[in-house]
Structure 1
Amino acid sequence: MRKLVLLFLLTLTSLAEAATGVFPDSTFNNLDYGLYWFGYGDSWQKAQPGYSNAYYSSSKPTVIYIHGWQNGSSAKKNRETFNRLDAGGPNLDLAHAWLTAGYNVGVLYWNQFADEGEVKDAEAKIWTATGPRAMRWRNSSNVYSNGPSKSVGDLLFQSYKDNLAGYNGNNIRLLGHSLGNQLAIVLTKKISDAVSAGSVSSKLLPKRVALLDPFYSNYAKSYLGNKWTGEVSRSYVSELKTKGVIFEAYRSSAVTSTLFVGDKNTGLMNMTAFSELKPWYFNSVQVAEKHNAAVWHYLWSFASNPPLISGSSNQAASAKTSDSRIATLMNGTQRLVHDQGVYTKEPSDDNFKLYAR
C-alpha cells in the first residue's frame, strides 16, 4: 500500500511538468502572480490595472483558468498554458474555439506559491498566509523567499477585481484544476461577499464554475478551525448556489480521490453537475495524464456540440453545454458517466449515461 501512495504522490509532483509556456526568465527569478490574458497561439499579456490589454475587452464573455500544485516548476521555468501536448492532450491551441466565439481567455497564476514539495503546504496557502510554510515562494534557482502577508485566495481576488473593475459583460466562467478547484471556489466566495458588501459590481460574480479533477487533502486543518478543506468548500458552494452560481465537476482520475491521498468529497460532487470521465486511451499507470485530461478535455469540448445522454436527445455536460442545462443537471439527482468515446481523445464522439448519485 505504501508503494501505491508513493506512486500517487509522485504522479501529482510530475504534474508541474505538464505544459510549458514561453515566459521571460524574470517571471521565474522574481515573484510573479495574478491574471494574464491570452490570444491565439499561446500569445499573452499580463493584466495590469489602468492599462489596455490586446487580449481583453470589458464587454466580452470571459473564461479564466486556475492551475493546481506546481512542485518543481520554477526551476524548469514552466507555466501551464493552452497547448496541452506535454500533458497528454492534443497538439492544439485549446483557447482557439473560445477566442473565435468572442471570449476573453485568461489564466490566474500562483505557480511560485504552489511550488512546494508537499501538496498540503501549497494547499494551505490558498486559505491562509500563516500556514505551515506561510507564503514563501520559490524562484528558478530553487530558493525560497518570504512572501506577502496575504493568502493566495486574497492575492488572486485582488488581481481579479482590480483588472475586471470596469467589466460590463454578462458571463464569467472560472475553471479550477486539481488544487486550483479550491481556489476557484474560494475566489468566487470572496467575490460574492464583495458584491454583497457593495464593493464590487455584481457583474464580476462568476456565472459558472468548473471543477476539473478536483483535489482535497484528507483530515482537519488547524487554519480552518479544525475543518477539512473539502468541508469548508461544500459550505461555500452551498451558499454560492443560492446566489445563482452554477457548478459543474469532472473526475478523470483516481489521483484525487484515493483514500490515502485525497478526500473524494462525494458530498461536494453531488452538489454539482458531476461527470465521471473515462480516459481509457491512457493505460493504468498513466495516472498523471488521466489527471490532466480533465483540463484539456473540458477546454477542447467547447469546439464540439454538447454530448448526448445515451439513448436520448438530452444533453450531457461539457464546456459547450448551456448554462441553463448545466444548472438543470446540477439540481438533479443523477450523475453522468462516460459511455461512448472513452477510447478516443476527441470530445466530439462522447456520450454519457445517467446513474444515481
Structure 2
Amino acid sequence: MNTTRRAFLRHCGLAGAAAVGTSLIPAMAFAKESQKRKQLTMYGPPVGPSVTLAHSAETNAVSGLIEQLNFETYRNPDVLRTNFVAGRWELAGTPSYVAANLYNKGVKVRLMNIMTWGLLYVISVDENIKSIEALKGQDIVMPFKADMPDLVFQHIAKEKGMKTGKDYRLNYVGSPFEGLQLLLSGRAKHAVLPEPAATAALLKGLKSGTKTTRVIDLQSAWGEVTDGPARIPQAGMMVSDTLLDEMPDLPERLNAALTRSTDWVVNNTTSAGRLGESYMTLKAPIIERSIPFCNFGLDKAKDIQQEIESFYSILAESNPAIIGGKLPPDDFYLG
C-alpha cells in the first residue's frame, strides 16, 4: 500500500477499523503459515456497491490468510466472464445470474453470498408517476435488452396486467448513463436506472434545470408481485473452485470481513464516497448519496438458496439463457 493510500486511510479512519477487525481473530487459528497467499485480487464493477470490496482490500481484512488483498474494477460482465473462463480470475463481485450462467457452462465457480439486494429504480421527469400502472401508454428507456433490469421490469409489469408493446413501450439503450442523458436532454420522460446512475440523474438534473424524481422502487414492486420480501438478490461474490480448494476457510473469513465493510460503508457514507472515487470514475457525492438506495446487506448464498432460485426461475421464464438454461445444483450455493 503506497503512502498516499495510507494517508487516505488515516483520514477516513479505516486503519483503525482494520486493526480492530484483524486483532479479534488470531490469524493462525484459521490457516497455517504455509497456507498463506502473498496476495489475492478481488474484482468488481465500477459502481457504488464495489466500495465495500475496496474497503475490505484497503483494510487488508483477511490478513490471516492473505498478506495483501487487492481490489480492481472491471468494465463490464463480458470482461468478467472472459477472465473466469480463462482461469485468470478467482474472486469477483458479480450480478448473481452471471455466476449461475458460468457454472452451467462448465466453469468451476460457486456463489458465495448476496451483498446487494436490488438497486433498480424508475426515474421520471413526471413526479406524479407513483406506480407501474401509471406508466400505461408511456415510453420507458431501458438499459441492456433482455438483461436483468429488463426482465425484472417486464415481470413486474406482466403481474400488474401490462404487456410490453401494447400497454407500454421500451426503448433500449446500451448503458444506464445513455438513459440518463436521454432524460436530461428532454428526449425521454421515464427510465429504468440502477444505482448509481439513478442518483446521478437526480443530481445532474438539479444542475441542468431538468427536474427528475425517483418515482418507483422496483425492489418494493418486486415484493408486491412475488408475495415475498421487497428485495432482489441482485449481486454477490463469485469464487473459483481452485481458490476454494486452496483456501477452504476463505468464504467464512471473507464473509465476516465484507459484513464489517458493509457496516462501515452504510455508516460512513461521506468517507465511503471518497474511497469509491479513488477507484472509479464516479464522483464522491454521487457514490455517497447513492449508498442508502443500494440495499446493502450480506447473506450467505446457502442461507437464501430458495430465494435466489425463485429469482433465477423468474428471469428464466423470459430468457432461459440468462442462467445457462437451468437452475444450478445445491453445491453451487456456499454456506
Superposition TM-score, scaled by structure 2 size: 0.28
Structure having greater relative contact order (Cα 8 Å, sep ≥ 6): 2
Superposition TM-score, scaled by structure 1 size: 0.27
Please identify the structure whose Cα radius of gyration is greater: 2
- Write 1 or 2 for the structure with the bigger share of helix: 2
